[in-house]
Amino acid sequence: MVLRYLTAKLAQQIDEELMSSAGAFSIDQLMELAGLACAQTLAKVYDKEKYPKVLVCCGPGNQGGDGLVAARHLGMFGYRPTIYMPKPGSKDIYQRLKTQCDNMKIQTLPPSNETTDLADALASNDVILDAIFGFSFKGPIRAPFDNVLPMLTKSSLPIVSVDIPSGWDVEKGNIDGVGLQPDVLVSLTAPKEGVRAFTGRHFLGGRFIPKAMEEKFELNLPQYPGVDQIVELPQTQKL
């Protein structure tokens, strides 16, 4: 059976059912599991001895929350993450996740002079974790992200994107040519239609999907190895 790729509508429906009385997950639980999967993916591909410094770029929505969770876990794994938030989120959960990172003594770039700070950070880090835009992104890219994405694209640092590369349409992919071009992608729950053409290393993080929901939506998820929160998708799954 072939792994199912999700449309925007179906991805939204699954998220809603996970947090309904039927799924019974809280947003906190899902962010924690998603962020852990992202941190584990980065750690699997980029060894901390060679790539110890990670620039975690967080958007203001749930995608950014996943990034903050990943930053905390990366710190616990022995990496030295730095958080960059072009536009910090205002929700309570976002603030709590940020406080957890502060308590881990994880550095956050100051909000002033953002472009200059980002240029300095790109010069002093080893890998980027892209948690800016999620599957609900719709173009065009607006300020301040219209300056941020080109700088990340021009950087020589490897990029790990969360769920879908920032700037890509969830169903049509990088149709405007302004999205990031990551080396690694960690899809959450199930891959999205827009990443079918992705050719880098592709991981799946969604070990929280209940069996009943997997069967209902015919996701055909692969087996996760051992106790890992992620599974790498073989080339045949990307066709």
- Known binding residue 120? Answer is no
Residue 24 to residues 15, 28, 30, 137, 210, Cα–Cα distance (Å): 11, 12, 11, 26, 10
Sign of CA dihedral 193, 196, 201, 203: positive
Residue 67 to residues 76, 211, 220, 221, 234, Cα–Cα distance (Å): 14, 26, 27, 24, 25
- Known binding residue 138? Answer is yes
- Known binding residue 63? Answer is yes
- Known binding residue 176? Answer is no
| Neighbour tally for 26: CB within 10 Å | 12
- Known binding residue 102? Answer is no
- Known binding residue 64? Answer is yes
Contact yes or no for 230/224 (Cβ under 8 A): yes
User: DSSP states of 51-72 as a string?
Assistant: --EEEEEE-SSHHHHHHHHHHH
- Known binding residue 166? Answer is yes
- Known binding residue 139? Answer is yes
- Known binding residue 65? Answer is yes
- Known binding residue 117? Answer is no
**Residue list for the binding site for K(+):** 63, 130, 166
**Residue list for the binding site:** 62-66, 130, 134-140, 163, 166
**Residue list for the binding site for (6S)-NADPHX:** 62-66, 134-140, 163
